[in-house]
């Protein structure tokens, strides 16, 4: 019988992240600021990556991401983990250039061939991104974990961050929602990988958009973040807070995978569904009466989720059309308003 990686861990993918509330509480007590003027973006706004200026035309984009298995097949796990790590560079408007692998591997319970298959899957996506793997570090551990530290480049004047959203912008999401509940269902034995193929394909799709858009359209993206373990509302709240605005989401516009709602109805949930709700509940106003499952979609912890883009309204239609050629789930899901009492509003 083939190894089922999700059965070897308690939590999988980005659902295993430390709760955002806990991170803010801990990191808020530590001075993480830098005196170096070349540091353009650090971790204070929970951005997706750091930015370090080299000169007037080049800045480094630096990030690191790793997690436990989110799917059962080692080759697919490698693809998803690599795609997820590379996404942080794309979320800053950058281009990935080099990567270092991070691997914790239980040699006492898994064959070395599993390690090779994970790396082969990762290399497929690293090469697709035009990136180079330079090396890495591995340890023997009781629990399998894999990911990448990625360095990219970006023009310092063209950096995206989560602090640039403007009132009047439209909100575009590039990928459908539901990987948290669907992969919980996979781990619980409710689904096979083939039954959630749409989610796995999405998690394995690079969040690259610069090759689809004109320079004018790229400049019309005022803010960006990738939607991962804190869900749409967690990452949306961080963007709204950093930008000093309110984000309005339309509940019926959120793109979903085929089985997302039925999986939520079957209560395929993770701890992150609850911690994500706790993180944003005091900053969110719900208008109307969306269903329990509709609300859960906003808290669903995504692994290798889509980019949330805050886009100039006059360019949103053309950008959405072009994104749709690669991202089947790309949708206009809301808008940006001047700061109101709550950072997030959900309209039914």
DSSP H or E run through 88: helix 74-90
From 14, 131, 183, 297, active-site residue: 14
Catalytic status, residue 14: yes
Count how many residues are written for the chain. 348
Rg of the chain over Cα atoms, rounded to whole angstroms, equals 19
Counts for the chain of helices (H) and strands (E), in that order: 11, 13
CA angle at 314 for the pair 172 and 246, rounded to the nearest 5°: 50
Q: Is 231 left (phi over 0), alpha (psi -120 to 50) or beta?
A: left
Q: Is the dihedral of CA 148, 151, 154, 160 positive or negative?
A: positive
Helix, strand, or coil (residue 338): strand
* Residue 2, number of CB atoms within 10 A of its CB: 7
Distance of alpha carbon 127 from alpha carbon 133, whole angstroms: 9
Question: Token pair for residue 345?
Answer: 């509003």
- Rounded to 5 degrees, φ, ψ at 186 are -60, -45
* Residue 201, number of CB atoms within 10 A of its CB: 13
Contact 218, 299 (CB under 8 A): no
Residue with tokens 């799917």: 71
Catalytically active residues, by annotation: 14
């Amino acid at each position: 019988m083939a190894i089922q990686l999700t059965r070897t861990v308690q939590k999988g993918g980005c659902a295993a992240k430390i709760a955002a509330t806990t991170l803010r509480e801990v990191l808020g007590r530590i001075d993480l600021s830098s005196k170096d003027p070349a540091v353009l973006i650090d971790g204070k706004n929970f951005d997706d990556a750091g930015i370090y200026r080299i000169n007037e035309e080049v800045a480094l984009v630096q990030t690191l991401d790793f997690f436990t298995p989110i799917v059962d097949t080692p080759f697919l796990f490698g693809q998803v983990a690599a795609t997820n790590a590379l996404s942080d560079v794309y979320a800053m408007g950058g281009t990935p250039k080099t990567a270092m692998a991070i691997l914790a591997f239980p040699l006492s319970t898994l064959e070395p061939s599993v390690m090779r298959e994970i790396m082969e899957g990762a290399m497929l996506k690293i090469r697709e991104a035009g990136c180079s793997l330079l090396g890495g570090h591995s340890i023997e551990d009781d629990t399998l974990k894999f990911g990448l530290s990625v360095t990219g480049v970006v023009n310092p004047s063209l950096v995206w961050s989560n602090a640039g959203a403007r009132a009047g912008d439209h909100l575009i999401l590039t990928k459908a929602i539901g990987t948290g509940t669907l992969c919980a269902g996979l781990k619980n034995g409710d689904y096979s990988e083939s039954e959630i193929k749409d989610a796995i394909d999405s998690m394995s799709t690079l969040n690259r958009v610069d090759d689809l858009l004109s320079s004018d359209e790229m400049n019309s993206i005022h803010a960006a973040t990738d939607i991962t373990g804190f869900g749409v509302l967690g990452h949306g709240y961080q963007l709204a807070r950093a930008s000093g605005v309110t984000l309005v989401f339309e509940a019926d516009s959120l793109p979903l995978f085929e089985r997302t709602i039925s999986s939520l109805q079957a209560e395929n949930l993770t701890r992150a569904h609850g911690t994500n709700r706790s993180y944003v509940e005091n900053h969110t106003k719900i208008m109307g009466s969306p269903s329990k499952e509709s609300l859960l979609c906003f808290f669903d912890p995504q692994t290798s989720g889509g980019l949330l883009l805050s886009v100039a309204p006059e360019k949103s239609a053309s950008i959405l059309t072009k994104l749709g050629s690669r991202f089947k789930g790309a949708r206009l899901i809301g808008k940006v308003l001047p700061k109101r009492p709550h950072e997030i509003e959900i309209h039914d």
